[in-house]
Structure 1
């Protein structure tokens, strides 16, 4: 990475009243120099040998169809003009009420779309690949309030119901199956949500790009990249491939605890923007008293040249600040997030204890309704969870600890627990 600091704009926003959100967004955009300056900015340079240094070949006649050949470093970085085809990519994990803080709030989505249109960028579409591939994107968007916001602005949904395989010589991935709209677009505006995540600790800007992967291939990716570290490397590869041109994080009301769907909404009262997803997620970490180096997507994102969590300048209404200063001034030290140091094979003399040091998903039987969504979400061949006697039950010998089941449970009936031994072994565990 070079020594130029990544900039993150942070603006206080205390409600989802449309006017207040629009004013906060306008301030954040102004801190970054406006859309024209943001869209002309060059992405951070990747380190030598990374996938981002490799050449891209593309069939000119199939350019709009997204047909790729060779070993691409990423989709073409086209010059963004007011005629460019841009995607608004919110978090549409599941069919939930926006007040549950699981998905991008429609007020934030609306504000971003309106700001783009007022700046002359009118060739807009939107979409995401939800966690449950059996539910149509439009149905999820409608339940989350995003469709209504898009309809109000006259923004149509893009093609997120079909996918095309793209070859990629990445650190972890050799290909992705991307939604067709991602391939057809000139640029992606990543409108993400501030939430906890059982596998990666947090999900923010970096992780939200996973919704560019088409349908059932998301579950397959959890099976292919089963650990937090390998999954994070894949996410970094994906960010290098699709390289969104702007990231807007909805942190007005965040989700803490058992995220990314079953956690607790908690006000953080911030709207944040950056062209660097790693820097944005790092500031998120500082706001919730979490060491950015403990987040695998931050580490892989920096190692693979997506961005940085080391050189950051935060632009606020009270002037320029360091991430540490922002955390002290605007943060919530009691935010419920996993701050412990996970077992990563470092305790080699007691490696036989590894099974007892791992966390695992657990069914809350009183809440489980036996709907089977967790079974469909499980990416393991032969399934590590099944419904028996009207309740979900695990076969832990098959479980790869990807937490897709917990992520997709609509009843908040699955939580992730650590053993007593694991908590004792970790002095930093918050009992």
Structure 2
């Protein structure tokens, strides 16, 4: 019989500590227990999604209550060497955590908040797409990384989940630089798969109690999905996420490339989906927990020839545009653009103006806009 990856689906409707702790504990039991995942003498790095400063109700970042409940579980099981950090799009991890109260919740559990303020160049010769990374030193110095991601849409990769969240392990401005080096969805996805192979997270947990639909990952709309997903296979976890929002998992580049490169499985027959009381079919899980109205890009994948033609002639491509009535002229979008010489600039107007011939469609500007003023069409 072919090997199947376990994904645990935990129904959960509220960010209540005791309920979260109970559900997470059951999820860990179904995956073999904490002791099978990480040893007590190892240093553990918790990696949430801390994209930017945001209120928790906007569903931009991993909810502090999920982080706190999991940290409490670790503490009760006797784990002591625990840190939490991320390479944020704007600001620092500590400042993002301070704004949402995550720092206080974690400090009560003895978890140290760290900023990724040192970079380490790491060779990765076995990489299919990326042969080296500039990693946050704190990632390299930890024994075990636990990935606690957020259920959100993404303009480049359709969704951002377990596989994509590891991009926050890249140090500083090298995150932006990566978008110029891997400018399309599939090369970027292959790089992310290589990155997952390098980091080797021990466990992936997805906060999908309140997810983000539409103009994600930073400017979308909160929508309740009422689930937490857990797995040691990030591709399988993201595939379950895809099914729950009625998105064909093979349309997600990180799923497609992840299975092709051997990181995990997206085909449902290779996934063992578990509820707290036992196994469930993917069809039944979608019927009970899915949301067919979830706003996400479900358009068919275009052929390589079509993509090449569109890029060459700069036609029929997704592109960011600015809603001038929402723009406050802060310039964060300009600062976030990784293109040399910038693909958008202030030219005598309150809102910046795009040069679409320079724009690489990485959507960093859209991700970082604090006022939801940048949309994609």
Deviates more, 1:376-385 or 1:317-326: 317-326
Q: In structure 2, what is the equivalent of residue 341 of structure 1? A: 300
Q: Aligned residues, how many?
A: 373
Deviates more, 1:332-341 or 1:151-160: 151-160
Distance 1:196 1:111 in 2: 25
- Indicate the SS of the match to 1:376: helix
Give the superposition deviation at 1:152. Answer: 1.7
Distance 1:104 1:348 in 2: 34
Distance 1:119 1:404 in 2: 39
Q: In structure 1, what is the equivalent of residue 284 of structure 2? A: 325
Preserved contact between residue 98 and residue 144 of structure 1 (Cα < 8 Å): yes
- Indicate the SS of the match to 2:9: strand
Match of 1:179 among 120, 136, 141: 136
Cα root mean square deviation, aligned: 1.7
Preserved contact between residue 310 and residue 317 of structure 2 (Cα < 8 Å): no
- Indicate the SS of the match to 1:94: coil
Match of 2:230 among 273, 277, 301: 273
TM-score of the superposed pair, with normalisation by structure 1: 0.84
Give the superposition deviation at 1:186. Answer: 0.4
- Indicate the SS of the match to 1:391: coil
Deviates more, 1:310-319 or 1:263-272: 310-319
TM-score of the superposed pair, with normalisation by structure 2: 0.95
Preserved contact between residue 195 and residue 256 of structure 1 (Cα < 8 Å): yes
Q: Say if 1:147 and 1:335 are closer, same or farther in 2 by CA, change over 3 A.
A: same
Q: For each residue in 1:7-36, what CA deviation from the matched residue of structure 2 results, as whole angstroms up to 9, or x when unmatched?
A: 001110001111221122122112212112
- Indicate the SS of the match to 2:113: coil
Q: For each residue in 1:309-353, what CA deviation from the matched residue of structure 2 results, as whole angstroms up to 9, or x when unmatched?
A: 121011103521233331122100110010001434344997699
Q: For each residue in 1:377-410, what CA deviation from the matched residue of structure 2 results, as whole angstroms up to 9, or x when unmatched?
A: 1000000011232212101110000000001101
Distance 1:274 1:403 in 2: 29
Match of 2:362 among 393, 402, 406: 402
Q: In structure 1, what is the equivalent of residue 8 of structure 2? A: 9
Distance 1:248 1:145 in 2: 20
Match of 1:125 among 59, 64, 83: 83
Deviates more, 1:99-108 or 1:384-393: 384-393
Match of 1:386 among 339, 345, 355: 345
Q: In structure 1, what is the equivalent of residue 18 of structure 2? A: 19
Q: Which stretches in structure 1 are left out of the alignment for 5+ residues?
A: 40-79, 418-431
Preserved contact between residue 310 and residue 316 of structure 2 (Cα < 8 Å): no
Preserved contact between residue 49 and residue 86 of structure 2 (Cα < 8 Å): yes
Match of 2:63 among 97, 105, 112: 105
Q: How does 1:130-279 map to 2 (within 5 A)?
A: 130-132=88-90, 135-158=91-114, 160-169=116-125, 170-279=127-236
Q: In structure 2, what is the equivalent of residue 84 of structure 1? A: 42
